[in-house]
Amino acid sequence: MEEAIEHLETGREDYGLIVFESRGSSKTLVRAVIELSKRAAVIVCGTDERVVSDFNGSEMPVVFLPLDSVQDDLSKTVKSLELSGKIPLFQESESEYLGIRADLLPTLGVLQADVFMLILDGRYVPIFKKGDRITEADVRHFLEKVPGQTFYFRKSECGEVLQSRIQRLESALQEIPINTAKVEQVITENFGIVRDVVSQIGFTPEAQRVAVNSVLLTIKMLGASPKLKSILSDLKESGGGYIPSHSIYLGKVACALAHKVGWRSQSTYFKLSLAAFLHDISLKEDRLAEVSNLEQFEKSGSGLPEEIREIRVHPARSAEYARQFQEIPSEVEQIVAQHHERPDGSGFPRGLVVRYFTPLSALFVIAQDLIEYGNTANELTFEHFFEEKGLEYNVGIFRKLARAIQTDTTLI
């Protein structure tokens, strides 16, 4: 609260509404905030109503809310103040703001833009200022009051927010030797931020730079000779959410398979890694990304109709995001669009058969199958994996790739 008082003392900004928390019965700091608020209405969320007793009957619009009723009553209180004319109606619409999940805020370092909280539909209040550094404790503090709260930036300031991620990535790219654990954490954070941005305003130039630099970091981690065995051995130990973790490891496995079949150019690694970063970016929930067999998922009855549709269309939707990239290799879009197709035509969304697969798309599908196999098998052996996939892979480009992969037995 002391920092809030210091800010109000500067007098640089006028507010229509100030909401703050006061624990205990001390009136000193509460009085200071209220008296510095000028014409703003004040809502004090606290444990002892006596902290506002000096303002009972005054013309100053001061309201007390018990802490345990904030979640239920804050919106009603704000609406009441609006209708009574004590604060102006908020005119800004939700379209002006970009939501970001709470767990990502502490990863941004020093804020490059104000952070807002939604208290009523279409009504936002600033809770962190540009130049602040948000900690996990700060986020927990708000989530205790409003579980599941989303925070917001102005969309017009999204570029400044992403610029801090770009700088962190460029710094990591220069580090020698590379810190693998740190880099994977950075890439995971970047995936979450890019997904939030892309789902609301598309692939901005800054979001593209974050994605591309994340991919370049992945390739740098792999080195010139990606070792499939070591990559798969790390798979079950990977942390973080399923989608970012899966996307990172899918890129690694696809590049390692490409190395095994002799496709060893940096261009090939870039295409596969970028496709891995993008392939599930349109999905909102990890559990939906874990569905590999849509027919079984439908029959199980565990998914709502809208979730089934989201899974079915996400390859095409993610491919649309890929098309927003400037100067992206066309094969990346094809890989993303085909990543749930199957050589026998049983996949989705288009039910393509083997002759429509590009070579890199087929390799990408094999990489996904290998990861799924690695997540469930007690012992990783190509012999057992290709026995399971024998009939399905015994056609066209899949047959050629399977033979090439099995020819080199040194990496697994």
Mean pLDDT of 163-184: 84
Q: What is the pLDDT of residues 291-304, one digit of tens each?
A: 988 888 888 888 88
Average pLDDT, the chain: 86
Per residue, what are the HEC states of the chain?
CHHHHHHHHHCCCCCCEEEEEECCCCCHHHHHHHHHCCCCEEEEEECCHHHHHHHCCCCCCEEEEEHHHHHHHHHHHHHHHHHCCCCCCCCCCHHHEEEEEHHHHHHHCECCCCEEEEEECCEEEEEECCCCECCHHHHHHHHHHCCCCEEEEEHHHHHHHHHHHHHHHHHHHHCCCCCHHHHHHHHHHHHHHHHHHHHHHCCCHHHHHHHHHHHHHHHHHHCCCCCHHHHHHHHCCCCCCHHHHHHHHHHHHHHHHHHHCCCCCHHHHHHHHHHHHHCCCCCCCHHHHCCCCHHHHHHHCCCCHHHHHHHHHHHHHHHHHHHCCCCCCHHHHHHHHCCCCCCECCCCCCCCEHHHCCHHHHHHHHHHHHHHHHHHCCCCCHHHHHHHCHHHHCCHHHHHHHHHHHHCCCCC
Question: What pTM was computed for the model?
Answer: 0.77
Mean pLDDT of 73-95: 67
Least confident of 43-57, 113-127, 130-144: 113-127
Domains of the chain, start order: 2-83 (3.40.50), 94-157 (no CATH), 223-407 (1.10.3210.10)
Mean pLDDT of 259-276: 95
pLDDT at residue 91 in the model: 47
Mean pLDDT of 179-200: 88
pLDDT at residue 127 in the model: 87
Least confident of 14-23, 84-93, 135-144, 397-406: 84-93
**Confidence label for 408 from pLDDT (cuts 50, 70 and 90):** low
Percent over 70 (pLDDT), the chain: 91
pLDDT at residue 10 in the model: 77
Least confident of 5-9, 242-246, 267-271, 355-359: 5-9
